[in-house]
Amino acid sequence: MTEQPSGTHGGGAWTRVARAVPAPSSLDGIDLPGLRGWLDGRREAIVADLVSYASLETPSDDLALLAAGLTHLESWLGARLGAPAARAHHASTEHGDVLVLDYPGEGPGAVTLLAHYDTVWSAGTLLGWPVLVDGDRLTGPGVFDMKAGLVQVVWGIRALRSAGLPTPALRLVLNGDEEIGSPFSRPLIETACAGTDAVLVFEAAADGAVKTARKGVGMFQVRARGVEAHAGLEPEAGASAIDEIARAVRTLHDATDLAEGTTVNVGVLRGGTRSNVVAGHAEAEIDVRVRTLAGQHRIDTVLAGLTAHDPRAGLTVLGGWNRPVMERSPAIAAVYALARRAGERLGVDVAEVAVGGASDGNFAAAMGLPVLDGLGAIGAGAHARHEHVSIAGMVERAALAAGLIGAFGAGGRDHH
């Protein structure tokens, strides 16, 4: 890790007890329509920024392209926001690096902004699918998930500055391994979020709605060990690992409870060597999604209770919870109320939704912090060839981000 020019991520505005989420009335001194008008006048520059960013491929599995993308972003951020007060570059030898930038604020608050720069699109995708602008529609690999979101929040901050409005201290976290579950970045994200007043996540919107709840995700593997034998001559000498894994699959699928919001899916099965050999090994790969902590604990119990039917065989469970549950807490409800009021002042209905997918916001929510996710682009097609964003939506969401950030920069709030 390297840091420059000054400051540490354990001190200053960040060693504090988180303050209450501002009331919707904190928006009274913020001219949201005026901010949107300022942003609309800079629509061409906003689009140009996204086109430049999206024209750099940043697949999760290509360290060289990720490094080039992050270099571009840091240079662009310097041009758009100026030099940060503190910089921490966390390098990884296996995944995309994490860059944490602190920007000083004039107001009393502190807000963490989460964005990832890696995408699911492999190197070379741009050769057959270049970034294109067609009227209000901008399409290209990664524009919706989630390159437009970062462009929007940066321009939202610029709009606040142009209006002379105070901002809170801002910490921007750029993550390079989100699309593969944030294995390297998770502890860095949790450290970066500690002590903040709120965490705003610029993942794509869901049909325009922000996300106030996300399911927790578990990724597990069950391995069965059996005893090989000739299936025709002496089957009784064997203990089938495939039989054991099949029994386990039934138990796991029976643990699905749609009313509870819990799904258990065995998506991959492997086992055995030949049809005439009692299988000595088998394994299952499992995806689990849970809406509540209670559901997570129930699945933990199911997994812990898996045992082999034949005493000569054995079952082993590997893996764990990739992301914790993001439940709609009172703190999350409070920051959503602020966003909804900001939307009303923009003439927009900011709806909320609970989704089955997870994000880095799950980590912050598990820490008890006020989190609002889905503040990014309006569009569609995440991880699909029709991925696109609305340019008018980018302007609208940049103004919404400005309102939220500006509210946290306003004074007059009491500590919890």
pLDDT digits (tens, 9 = 90+) for 171-225: 999 999 999 999 999 999 999 999 999 999 999 999 999 999 999 999 999 999 9
208 alpha carbon, distance to own chain's centre? 17
Please give the helix or strand (H or E) that residue 290 lies within, else none.
Answer: strand 281-290
Q: Residue 2: its pLDDT value, please? A: 37
Residues of the chain with CATH 3.40.630.10: 2-214+326-409
Amino acid at 137: R
Encoded tokens for 135: 């009227």
CATH fold for the domain made of 216-323: Alpha-Beta Plaits (3.30.70)
Burial 45-62 (b: 16+ CB within 10 A, else e): ebbebbbebbebbbbbbb
- Amino acid type, 1: M
**Token representation of residue 242:** 């495939």
The sheet carrying 379-380 orders its strands as 132-134, 137-139, 388-390, 379-380
Reduced to 3 states (helix: H, G, I; strand: E, B; else coil), residue 187 is helix
Q: Are 359 and 149 in contact (CB under 8 A)?
A: no
With contact defined as beta carbons under 8 Å apart, do 58 and 124 qualify? no
pLDDT on residue 416: 32
* Residue 224 near residue 278 (C-beta atoms within 8 A): no
pLDDT value of position 20: 82
> Which CATH fold topology does 2-214+326-409 show?
Aminopeptidase (3.40.630)
Instruction: Name residues of the chain where pLDDT drops below 50.
Output: 1-13, 16-17, 412-416
Q: What is the pLDDT of residue 108?
A: 81
**pLDDT of res. 18:** 56
The model's pTM? 0.88
Residues of the chain with CATH 3.30.70.360: 216-323
